[in-house]
Amino acid sequence: MSSARKRLRDHGIRIGYLPTGKSNSISDVAGLTVGHCSVIHGEQLDSLGTDQTGSISVARTGVTIIVPHQGDLWNERPSAGFFMLNGSGVVFGSDWINEAGALEGPIALTNSHSVGDVASALIRVMVEQHPQVGGVEDSYLPVVAECDDSPLNDINAFHVKDEHVRQALHGASHIVSEGAVGAGTGMTCYGFKGGIGTASRVVTVNGTDYVLGVLVNTNHGQLHQLIVNGIPVGRVLAHEQKIAKNKEGSIVIVLATDAPMNQRQLERLARRACLGLAKTGAIAAHGSGDFAIAISVGRKVPRYSSEAEISLPEMHHDSLALFFEASVEATEEAILNSIFLADTVIGRGGHMAPALPVEHCIDIMKSFKPVDSADQLTTNPHN
C-alpha cells in the first residue's frame, strides 16, 4: 500500500451512522489478529509488464490469516455461522461450520488453486500444537476461502507454500494492512485493484458496548457497477475510461464480534453483510463466489465437557437489529477501503489492475447530479 493512498474516512467519506471501533478494523475485536504473506515473483518486467526472459512464473498472490483469539482455538471454539450468496467458488471447511456451529482454528484466505496447499499447511500446524489431533481426537478441518487472482497471477504455479502460511500466522497482529497485500495481492475489484479491506462498528445494547469487525478480500464487480456512498461513480468512470471487463471473480467477507451470538444469529449476521456488498454495486454475478463467515469470540463452545448440558451466553434476538446495521455499514466500508488503498499492480502477460483514481472519484461525488437515464452517462456496458 502506498503511503499516498488513504482510507475512505481520511477523505472525509463516512459510511452509515454507527461509531467505529478504535482502529476501524476487524482487530478492534479484542484478541483477534490478522497476518499476511504476499508472494511476488517475476518482477523483472519491461515497461509493459511482460516477463523479459519468458522463464519466470509470475506470482501476484499470497495468503491472509485471521486468528480469532489468542487462546486454544482447538478446545475453545468461537461460535460460527456461514452464508453463501452465490456459489461459484469454495470455502473449504464451511460444511463443518454449518453442522457444528463452531470454528476450531484460524480462517485463511488465498487464491483458488492454493486452497489445498493452505489447508494442508494449517493441518500440519494444528497437529504440531496438538499431536493428538487426527489420532486420539477428531481430525481437523481448516477453513480456507478462495478468490481467483489468475488475471494477475500464474495460478497454476501453486506459489503459496507451507512457509507462507506459517509466515502469515507468525506475523499476525492487531495492525491490519489493507489493499494489495496477502491474499489480496492479485485481486481486482470493479475493474480496479482490489484486495484486503477492513472496518468496524461499535454497538451499544443496554449500556454495554460490543464490537463488530469486518475483513474482506475483494475480487468482484464491473466498473459501471461501482457505487461509493450512494453515488454511482462507476457509471461516470465507465463513460470516461476504457477499462477491460473484469473477470467475474469473488468476494470473501469475514465478520467477527465479541457479542455472544449463536450459530443461527451469526448466519443472520452474515446474510446482512451481503446487503453492504450490494450497496457498493455488486450483483452476485453468475461466475462470482460471494461468501460470508461470521464468528463470535464472546460465545466459545468447549470441545469437551464433564456435564451433559452446558450453558452458553447469547444475545436476545430483540437486540440484533443494531448488529445487522453494523454488518451492512462495516462491510460496505471495508470493501471501499480495499480499493481506495490498493495501488496499481501489473501481473502476468502485462495484465494490469489500475489503482482507483481516488481524487477524481471524490470530485465526481461532489459534483454528481442524478440523471434521468443511464444512457446520459454511458453506453450499454454489456455490449
**pLDDT at residue 57 above 60?**
yes
Of residues 366 and 382, which shows the higher confidence score? 366
Residue 48 — very low, low, confident or very high, per pLDDT cuts 50/70/90? very low
- DSSP codes of every residue in 120-158: HHHHHHHHHH-TTTTTTS-----EEEEE--TTTS-GGG-
**pLDDT at residue 146 above 50?**
yes
Q: Tens digit of pLDDT for each residue in 74-131? A: 999 999 999 999 999 999 999 999 999 999 999 999 999 999 999 999 999 999 999 9
Phi-psi category of 278—alpha, beta or left, where left has phi over 0 and alpha has psi -120 to 50? alpha
Nearest to 113 by CA among 159, 152, 163, 151: 159
**pLDDT at residue 51 above 50?**
no
**pLDDT at residue 54 above 60?**
no
Nearest to 221 by CA among 198, 187, 255: 187
Instruction: Read off the pLDDT of each residue in 143-151 and give the average, rounded to a whole number.
Output: 97
Percent of the chain with pLDDT over 70: 92
**pLDDT at residue 261 above 80?**
yes
Of residues 361 and 349, which shows the higher confidence score? 361
**pLDDT at residue 302 above 70?**
yes
**Other C-beta atoms within 10 Å of 50: how many?**
14
**pLDDT at residue 47 above 70?**
no
**pLDDT at residue 256 above 50?**
yes
The three three-digit cell numbers of residue 139, written as one number: 481430525
User: pLDDT value at position 191?
Assistant: 95
User: pLDDT value at position 42?
Assistant: 87
| Torsion angle of the four alpha carbons 165, 171, 177, 180, in this order, in degrees rounded to the nearest 10 | -30
Alpha helices in the chain (DSSP H): 94-100, 115-129, 162-170, 233-240, 263-279, 321-340, 358-367
Q: What is the mean pLDDT of the chain?
A: 93
Q: Could you identify the residue written with the cell 460444511? A: 95
Q: Tens digit of pLDDT for each residue in 308-352? A: 999 999 999 999 999 999 999 999 999 999 999 999 999 988 899
So which residues are the catalytic ones? 250, 288, 290
Q: Quote the Cα angle for 266-284-213, to 5°.
A: 35
Q: Tens digit of pLDDT for each residue in 239-252? A: 998 777 888 889 99
User: pLDDT value at position 53?
Assistant: 45
User: pLDDT value at position 380?
Assistant: 53
**pLDDT at residue 49 above 80?**
no
Architecture in CATH for domain 8-301+313-367 = 4-Layer Sandwich (3.60)
